[in-house]
A and B are shown apart, each in its own frame.
Chain A
Amino acid sequence: MKKYYTIYKMAFKDMMAFKGDFILSIIFNMAFFYVYFAIWKNIYSTGDINNIADYTLKNTITYYFITSLIYRLDLTNSLYMNWEVWTGYFTNYLMKPASITLNYLMQTLGDVSVTFILYIPFAAFIYLTVSKYMSFPTGLYWLYFAITLVLMLAMSFFINMIMHSLVFKFGDQENNISLVNYLIGFLAGGFFPLAFLGGKISTLFHLLPFKYLFDFPCNIFLMKIPPVDIFYGWAMMAIWILIFYFISKIIFQKGLKHYTGTGR
């Protein structure tokens, strides 16, 4: 276990080495929150609307606040397998006495830990600027939310591993990874609460596993989901994690046979 902790620590330190650059990127990413804040504040206040699909203005702004937090845990830019296979750097992992999957998991965790920690002061800044439009959970809901984030990270990791493993057979997947993550963000409720869709399309989105990445944790934070449904959601997440894990493992093992170690 110690070697995996070392990998985590190295990834953490590596990210911290360029934290100035990193902090800048976080500041720029805050722009998205303020754009959505402006849109929804305008809609609720000019239309004199109390709620949309059971979401008050406070709920909606808090929802976007939490999505901005979850986007900091996004693995799109933290998993480097596609690039490493494509350039031949991946050979290093084959020579080391450690699980490749766990190696990547620890690296990505090191990356997102730094992102998450450095985001805290900026989250505080957002809170200070728009605090009257936000609400926070109480009691056990903080714990439910934290557990859901951990499961969400695991699910996101294996979904990304599937995409990255395609590089062995189909070459550079950079564009496809961005495309798929963008679509998943949309299907997961990363752009707006899924309840806003209404009708059959909302039902369809809820049938997909991606809602567990954004919509589900955000609604836990908003205390819109009773504990029984949260436990059911966790069970479903565990099943999906296992499914994505096995798919990624199969694609990875089959793909590895195509790896020549020469890079592009």
Chain B
Amino acid sequence: MRKYWRIIWISLKNSYTRDKMIPGYVISGLLFQIFEILVTIVFFNVIFNSTESLAGWNFYQILFLYAFSKIIIGVHSLFTKKGIQSITSEQIRYGQLDFYLTKPVNPMILVTISQPRFYYAFNILLYIGVTIFSIIKSGIAIGAMNVFWLLFLFVISIVLYYFLQVITVIPTFWFIKLWSLQDLMGKLNGFMRYPMNIFPSFLKIAFFIAFPVMATSYIPAVSLFYAPRASSIMFMIGITVVFYFITNWLWKLGLKNYASASS
């Protein structure tokens, strides 16, 4: 485990050095996030001009859910997004995965943490601010246990989201040029922003159970605002373990199909 932290630390330092050289790029990325928050707040205002609650959730709870989902996405953008995207764009297509396969560490983990982007740390701070603001303004009494379960489930969500992200790019082992998979999770993130109960049954089955991207933000948020339920917590732990096995099995299956250079 220690060597992985060392790899992350070294990659982060490299990323910091790189991002320091392109302040314009970093600033415009941060500006994008600020505008996205503003646009989202306007959109939520439009929604709550017409209704008092969305599936029982008030304005600030929805804002929390949105910002919380962005923190999960932000953590992945910071550590693994670029690395995972590179699997679809170059690693397999040009045979560059060889480099990672020859190292004495898990190649899946190594390739996914190989290209962190330091500047996403600023985005995370921004969204942490929004979550704290929305918790305070939500007017809901929150106990220490709620906070504990939120943080516990946040860690589980990060792990689960990671597995889901990796699964989305594994088809590249079979279909060499699948750039659209690069941002599949970006498209599905929309399901993380709203309470599960607004979605029709077929979407709930698809994105809460089969590919549980909704669960990563919804269950921790529910545990913060309402009495934490053992069944939900067990579900999160259970489904994360299941996806750990699925991801590893699919990755190994994909690797068998990897033909090295110019595959």
Contact = CB atoms under 8 A, between A and B. Distances in A.
Interface string B11-49: 000000000000011001101100110010011001101
B43 A28 contact: no
A192 B191 CA distance: 17
A191 B178 contact: no
B46 A21 contact: no
Contacts of A171: 24
A179 B180 contact: no
Interface string B181-215: 10110011011011000111001000000000000
Interface residues of A, number: 34
Interface residues of B, number: 36
Q: Is the interface of B mostly helix, strand, loop or mixed?
A: helix
A32 interface: yes
A231 to B, nearest CB: 30
Contacts of A49: 50-51
B143 to A, nearest CB: 29
A52 interface: yes
B187 A38 contact: no
A132 to B, nearest CB: 13
Nearest to B88: A21
Given A31-B187, A31-B190, A47-B50, A42 B55 contact: yes
Given A20-B178, A42-B55, 15 more contacts: A21-B178, A28-B180, A28-B184, A31-B190, A31-B191, A34-B199, A38-B194, A38-B198, A39-B198, A43-B47, A46-B51, A176-B28, A196-B46, A196-B50, A197-B46
Contact of B194 (A28, A31, A35, A52): A35
A39 B65 CA distance: 14
Nearest to A171: B24
Given A28-B180, A29-B187, A175 B28 contact: yes
B225 interface: no
Interface in A143-197: 171-172, 175-176, 178-179, 182-183, 186, 191-192, 196-197
Highest count of chain B CB atoms <10 Å: which of A34, A171, A182: A34
28 contacts: A21-B175, A21-B179, A21-B180, A24-B178, A28-B187, A28-B188, A29-B187, A31-B190, A32-B187, A32-B190, A35-B191, A38-B198, A38-B199, A42-B55, A43-B47, A43-B51, A46-B51, A47-B51, A49-B50, A49-B51, A175-B28, A182-B35, A186-B39, A192-B46, A196-B46, A196-B49, A197-B42, A197-B46
A56 interface: no
Nearest to A176: B28
A76 B47 CA distance: 28
A198 interface: yes
Contacts of A191: 39, 43
B54 interface: yes
B36 A182 contact: yes
Contacts of B137: none
Nearest to B195: A42
A196 B39 CA distance: 14
A198 B35 contact: no
B252 interface: no
B192 to A, nearest CB: 10
B54 A18 contact: no
